[in-house]
Structure 1
Amino acid sequence: MDSPGLPTAKDVREAAARIVGGVKRTPLVHARKLSALTGADIWLKLENLQYTGAFKERGALNKLMMIPEQDRKRGVIAASAGNHAQGLARHAKALGVPATIVMPVTTPDVKVRQTREHGAEVVLAGHDFDEAKAAVAILQKERGLIFVHPFDDPDVITGQGTIAIEMLEDGPDFDAMVIPIGGGGLIAGMSLAVRDISPKTEIIGVQAALFPSMINALDGGERPTGGNTLAEGIAVKDAGALTRQIVQNNVDDIVTVDERILERALSMLMMEQKLLVEGAGAAGLAALLADPARFVGKTIGLVLCGGNIDARLLSMILMRDLARAGRLARLRVQLLDMPGQLVKVATIIASQDGNVIDVGHHRTYSDLPAKMTCMDVTIDTQGQDHLDRILSNLREEGYEVEIAAY
């Protein structure tokens, strides 16, 4: 459904032709392992394989190419500490357009460095995104720069929508596409193409439960918005003015997913499909995991919209997932404070093929009797059943043992 003043499916088709060769036509892969685990027929669009690791390149390139040649020399400006910054910087450099990116002073050095490496001038201003946006307005006026919004711009929206055209050309007939929502540029653009090419395909948006901004925008709700989410790429407090209109016209449903489900989805993509994604990129799979009955037997398209994640955060998520599956456990064992006890506990664990990977004693900071101590033993197991056998054997030998919380 097209509305006056809004971009159309025709605009998306024209954007697709415009950006050919400028961005990667990413693979659409059949996720057989995830399909077997969920009961849905899952297809994954690997936008995490774009040069900068995210889909944002599409909208940035389309916007830049829509700027008249005589105006490009003025330069462009944006406020971003993430994927939009790198996508815009990369393609501005390729087209010879000066780019200025304003980032909060709290932005990690690695992101600042990567953006500069793409040829942009980085200006650090403000302590949060809102303050950085205020600095953009000042610089834009002073320098006569062209502002490139990360999502609420017709050319950006239609650039992002080219993903749907590729999916519908390369894949099966989809019963549904499940698409992450931050400000709404991705789902808005994709929905224009889907409604035009495959109107029977259900379009489902997914937001982090901590940032239900699009849902609030559509129903006038005042759900709390904010917090530390794994899906920082879709952690947007206010949905776009243009995007909300397109979403209202085209999107069938929007769901939210909590942090634990996001972690599980990210881990499953890594462990089962060998695909590295950021939190926002795992949001579509998280929606399937949160409500599996809804998708069983259906052909589902998911967009892995980005793969830029901090290595330390990824490591922590994978370790936490191993703990939840019983593959990794920290046992707190009470025992007499006397020689030989550690060997006995380790022998019991080894007799059940458990692997001790870390040990810690707690004598002083304990409320146990003076002749007792507690020992934390981190073990590697084959899964929950294996862990249960080790616990049972320790208890049969007279040790009080519990699993420390993860």
Structure 2
Amino acid sequence: MKKYTSKECIEALKLAEKDLSDNFTIFDYIKWADGKDYPGIDTIKTRLGTSKFTEALKKAGVNNYHKTRDGFSYQEVLGAYERAREEFGYVTKKKYDEWARVNNLPSSFTLVKYLSTSHTWKELFQDDKYKHCIDSLKLAEKDLPDNFTAYDYDVWARRHNKPRLDTIKAYLGTSTFEETAEKAGINSFRKNVEKGYTYEQALDAYERAQKEFGYISRLRYSEWAKTNQLPGPQALLKHLNCTWKELFPKSKEQRENILAHLRASDKKSQQHAEKKYKKYKKYSEAECYSAIKEAVQHFKGVNFSPSTYDNWALENEKPAHITILSRTAKKWSEVKEQAFNEYLDELSGNAFINNKNEIANKIYTQNEAIEYIKCSKLTFVKYAEKNGVQPFKVVGGKKASIKLYWQDDLDFLYDKIPRRERKR
């Protein structure tokens, strides 16, 4: 097999440009080169150091590579877009395609493919809702400190009656806060990763916040900590092993008690405890399933997210959902489903025992039934025959038999017997 050089590959592409029509595709080249002494597609891409045919054409200097499939060049597509923006401002896909057919311009599909980075029509022709979402994020950037988080934005959005982050992500077609912020052009956004703080540093920051504010909300503390370059709220919760409500209760006496308790813990013993926890706190697969079953029982079903579970697990010293996935090697939905089924099996076993006792308490012999209704035997027999109340089971023979009645039937019969004929 002949080995082609990069120069020979470039010459082959330029020759194909002359022989073939404008905007020839990869399939046109394969058909043209078949049976001839020209390099194949894979050889060309390897020699020119690219994985795409269009990039190979660009490196070879073939200028028709940027033309679209319907025959328009990139400049013509851009010109059509600018003309549509001037004429309509915002336009729907359907209305644009009708206008483009009349004026012999590129279709909406072509515009989205070659001009939109996220491949959405909304990015090219932003409507009022799209602009409102972008403006909301930019306004939050001005109001909130640098490096604000998704939680910070949602709290701010509720206060200022702005769209929630989930709504913005759905409208902009993004899945993470990082992508959403980048799409809105928020360059100051950086992922908030707090690490490197010690237990003492977290405790000092907590004590300083108590002295300055007494009670402080999580959002306000986050802003204050960023301004003063102190451990953020996550670092406090992690090192001090408390919830936010426990750290900052509204009662002054409670705040002083928890600070004294934390100060009383020796630094060395705290570090030792943290090392011991990291070294020995390893959960088995059975313990992970047991934790999920407890969560199912606590939340009364499987309708809880990983973040909701993690908050509960932190308060109850249970394994995090990442640990559970690692130990069980299953998906989150599969783990919850299995734990839920086991919980139902246990529940049904207990229910069987309870139902057995309940059923036994609802069965009456004839003498017990007469005493339950508080009437004579003659009255009982008379009104039972009249209202069709019969024993659901007769035990024994003709000489000695026991008639068993159901409590619901006796309640029905009680209402049918006149009050004057009941025993007082």
TM-score grouping bracket, smaller chain normalisation: under 0.3
TM (normalized to structure 1)? 0.25
Decide which structure has the larger Cα Rg and report it.
2
More strand by share: 1
More helix by share: 2
> Greater relative contact order: 1 or 2 (C-alpha under 8 angstroms, separation 6 or more)?
1
TM (normalized to structure 2)? 0.24
